[in-house]
Amino acid sequence: MAKTVIVVIDGFGIGAMPDAGTLRPGDLTADTCGHVLDHCRTALGRPLRLPVLGALGLGLVHPHQDLARRTHLPVAAGRAALGYPGADTFAGHQTMMGADFSRVTVARLADHLAEVAAALETAGHRVEPLDGKPLLVVDGTVLVHDNLEADPGINWNASGRLEDLSFDGPGGILAVARTVRAVAPVARVIAVGGHADGPLRQFVRPGDAGTVGLDTPATGFYRNGGLEVQHLGAELDHTRQLPGLAARAGIPVTLVGKAADILACEAARRHPAVKTADVLSCTLEAVRAPGDALVVANVQETDLAGHQQDTERYGRLLEQVDSGLAGLVALLDSPGDRLIVTGDHGNDPTIGHAYHTREYVPVLIHQPGTDGVELLPDADSLADVGATAAASLSLDPAGLANGTTLRPGRHAA
């Protein structure tokens, strides 16, 4: 029996990649982990309490005065480049699960308005621009717009208030998003329904590189409860991703938090959740079940704190995650069990904007049954995390579309 658990701390970067300044030169100074630690030491009057992340080797791959530099746990620690353009949760998770996302198309909605509008009109919708801006109002209720939470041109959204129409009913928000998906060249079209603090048009604002969209965090969608989201990704061979590979081998698959929204696997048990406490609780529950398991969990609230540029909240969420990881380390104590803690991109709340930052992410692996502390070479792609997880479940990583198993470079002193 063996269990492999991947915990993705959304937006948890550990330093800018060399090309991080291509879009925004200031992003070359991005360091989500370091800047949150520094800020919270001052704001809280004490260091953040992250004993488990320290014990898993975070201080080995991101040296900092507030992180332990030694551990007695059997761990392997390294960092990974993203392996896909930009910095995006959907592309990050698809890549991590073994997809080749290196050819993602980047496009502003403004450059494709005519064909998107034509597709929607053909589907029977009424379409008009909003006040001359390069976004569309569908049936007077749904906004089709650039996503402002990822790098410009990576994703588009179809957003609506649930007071105005249903999410997945005929002619609802999801139906609009599916029509857009059929002609969209971008990685992801996201259908979003929620309860806003006012009319959506009052939350429209310009983004970088000529994009225009809805400021989703400002709408109140994330605060007001009842949020419904579906991510419609570019065509991928999901059978060559880790969840499908595990399921075909008879290994139960559980997807928790945002991972349940964005990863494809018909056989998976799904526990969508936004609140960190709920994500951790569902993850622990899945690990307690007897037998083999693959569990992939996403802690989304750290990413939301980054978008809100709320550094202190980000730090307190890291402490909450650390407490949850303590329970996972205690449960995953059999030889062959693996706990992998990583990120999907950065989201430095101190950088001066509300977008993701293109950073390396940690790869921290608790590996009971091994000896000592191993340092991993830099991974070229998050796909290497998925390949390593496959190997830990005795699956052939060659069954994935992308990724190479990480092998220790040396032992820590």
Average pLDDT over residues 190-207: 96
How many whole angstroms separate alpha carbon 309 and alpha carbon 387? 33
In the predicted model, what is the mean pLDDT of residues 157-175? 96
Per-residue pLDDT, 233:
82
Q: What confidence tier does 102 reach under pLDDT thresholds 50, 70, 90?
A: low
User: Which of 84-88, 204-208, 232-236, 273-277 reaches the highest mean pLDDT?
Assistant: 273-277
What radius of gyration, in Å, describes the C-alpha atoms of the chain?
21
| Average pLDDT of span 207-214 | 92
Kindly report the average pLDDT of the chain as a whole number: 95
Pick the more confident residue, 124 or 185: 124
Residue 196 has pLDDT above 90, yes or no: yes
Rounded mean pLDDT, 367-371: 93
Question: Measured over all CA atoms, what is the biggest interatomic distance in the chain, rounded to whole angstroms?
Answer: 66
Task: Read off the pLDDT band of 84 (50, 70, 90).
Answer: confident
Range with the poorest average pLDDT among 202-211, 231-240, 253-262: 231-240
Instruction: Please give the pLDDT value at position 103.
Output: 66
The predicted pLDDT at position 106 comes to 80
- Tokens at 73, concatenated: 């746990």
Q: Within a 13 Å sphere around the CA of 90, how many CA atoms are in the beta-carbon half? A: 25
Question: Quick one: average pLDDT of 300-309?
Answer: 97
Question: Could you please report the per-residue DSSP string of 171-231?
Answer: TSHHHHHHHHHHH--SSEEEEEEE--SS-GGGGEEE-GGG-EEE-HHHHTTTTSS--EEEE
| Residue 413 predicted with pLDDT over 60 | no
Residue closest to 393 by CA, chosen among 245, 268, 282 = 245
Confidence class for position 237, pLDDT limits 50, 70, 90: confident
For residue 384, the model assigns a pLDDT of 98
Q: pLDDT per residue over 42-56, tens digit each? A: 999 999 999 999 999
Confidence of residue 7 (pLDDT cuts 50, 70, 90): very high
Percent of the chain exceeding pLDDT 90 equals 86
Cα(27)–Cα(19) distance, integer angstroms:
9
Q: Per-residue pLDDT averaged across 26-30, rounded?
A: 97
Query: With bands split at pLDDT 50, 70 and 90, how would you rate the model's confidence at 213?
Result: very high
How many Å apart are CA 157 and CA 142, to the nearest integer? 10
What average pLDDT does this structure show over 92-119?
Answer: 90
- How confident is the model at residue 412, as a pLDDT? 66
SS (HEC) of 4-46:
EEEEEECCCCCCECCCCCCCCHHHHHCCHHHHHHHHHHHHHCC
Average pLDDT of span 99-125: 90
248 pLDDT above the threshold of 80: yes
- Please report which confidence band the pLDDT of residue 410 belongs to, taking 50, 70 and 90 as the band edges: low
pLDDT band at residue 204 under the 50/70/90 scheme: very high
State the average pLDDT over residues 203-230. Answer: 94
**Cβ neighbours, 10 Å, residue 310:** 14
Question: Distance between CA 87 and CA 270 in Å, rounded?
Answer: 25
Question: What's the pLDDT score for residue 208?
Answer: 84
Distance CA(383)–CA(365), nearest Å, equals: 15
Torsion of CA 161, 147, 308, 33, to 10 degrees: 140
Q: Is the pLDDT of residue 311 over 80?
A: yes
Mean pLDDT within 334-344: 97
Residue type, 111: D
Q: Is 91 helix (H, G, I), strand (E, B) or coil?
A: helix
